[in-house]
């Protein structure tokens, strides 16, 4: 019998083929896992940099705070402490309770980013307890689109859709989506964003699963595969045909 993982990957490739855009506007993407706080963060860091040629390691801004605050404050619990810069426009962000593989600037495509995540998470899995959350995030920046919100099909009520409303040029819309399998998504649309001194529209959304019963490495990879499929569906369903033509 064909494995669950093979079936999932086939479904991913089928959908990627369907919604693949050559002129994508992805500014940043990330794959993240959150877990119970490890006691020895330095060991975690050493495991991650083993056998890779890293370009640099930098503290994140959270390291300006005392360690006891970093570890105890609830809103800081899943913040990364270190950024490890490697090739392929990849940054490995890690803290005592979080690992993220972040692809900045030029988008690598899902396969390469997912490969980076699998390799790095496999190094530290035995050092982590109880996984709380896995997630996938995309940030897209669209420059030079007038009436930015009209390129999306989100509705804010049963009677009024975005393109029928009088919104300010600086409007920001945030919404939450729920999937039948328990996964969720947070989505933010901003009609006026500034990136590297360039003005444009921003789409920022993450798809995630919160489940304390995720225990195995294989289950983490399966969940992330599913989240990737959901992220493709989210983008496909909320964007208009006009926007899809622009990025095709």
List, for residues 144-162, the tens digit of each pLDDT value.
888 898 899 876 554 444 4
Task: Flag whether pLDDT at 43 surpasses 90.
Answer: yes
Q: CA 73, 76, 80 angle in degrees (round to 5)?
A: 145
Higher pLDDT, 91 or 154: 91
Phi, psi (rounded to 5 degrees) for 86: -130, -170
Q: Which two tokens stand for residue 179?
A: 């999937």
Q: Which regions of 70-145 does DSSP assign to beta strands (E)?
A: 82-85, 90-95, 98-104, 129-143
- What is the span of the domain harbouring residue 121? 4-247
Burial status of residue 55 (CB atoms within 10 A of its CB: 0-12, 13-18, 19 or more):
exposed
**What's the confidence (pLDDT) of residue 213?**
85
Q: How many residues are there in the chain?
A: 248
Q: Where are the alpha helices (DSSP H) in 76-125?
A: 110-124
Q: CA 129, 37, 54 angle in degrees (round to 5)?
A: 95
Share of the chain above pLDDT 90, in %: 60
User: In 10 A of CB 28, how many CB atoms?
Assistant: 18
pTM across the whole model: 0.86
Task: Flag whether pLDDT at 7 surpasses 90.
Answer: no
35 alpha-carbon distance from chain centroid: 16
Task: Flag whether pLDDT at 15 surpasses 60.
Answer: no
- Rounded-to-integer distance, Cα 78 and Cα 98, Å: 6
- Within 8 A by CB and 6+ apart from 193, the residues are 141, 199, 200, 201, 202
Please count the structural domains in the chain.
1
Q: Are 42 and 24 in contact (CB under 8 A)?
A: no
Higher pLDDT, 3 or 212: 212
């Amino acid at each position: 019998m064909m494995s669950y993982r093979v079936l999932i990957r086939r479904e991913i490739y089928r959908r990627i083929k369907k919604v693949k855009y050559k002129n994508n506007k992805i500014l940043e993407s990330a794959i993240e896992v959150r877990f119970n706080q490890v006691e020895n963060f330095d060991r975690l860091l050493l495991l991650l940099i083993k056998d890779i040629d890293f370009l640099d390691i930098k503290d994140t801004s959270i390291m300006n705070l005392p360690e006891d605050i970093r570890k105890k404050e609830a809103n800081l619990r899943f913040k990364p402490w270190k950024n490890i810069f490697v090739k392929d426009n990849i940054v490995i962000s890690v803290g005592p309770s979080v690992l993220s593989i972040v692809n900045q600037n030029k988008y690598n495509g899902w396969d390469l980013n997912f490969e980076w995540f699998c390799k790095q998470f496999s190094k530290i899995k035995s050092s982590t307890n109880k996984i709380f959350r896995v997630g996938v995030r995309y940030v897209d920046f669209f420059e030079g689109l007038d009436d930015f919100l009209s390129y999306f099909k989100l509705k804010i009520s049963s009677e009024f859709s975005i393109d029928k409303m009088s919104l300010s040029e600086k409007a920001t819309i945030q919404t939450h989506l729920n999937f039948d399998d328990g996964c969720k998504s947070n989505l933010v649309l901003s009609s006026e964003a500034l990136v590297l001194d360039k003005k444009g529209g921003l789409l920022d959304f993450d798809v995630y699963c919160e489940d304390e019963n995720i225990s195995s490495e294989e289950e983490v990879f399966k969940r992330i595969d599913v989240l990737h499929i959901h992220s493709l569906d989210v983008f496909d369903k909320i964007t208009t045909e006009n926007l899809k033509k622009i990025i095709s």
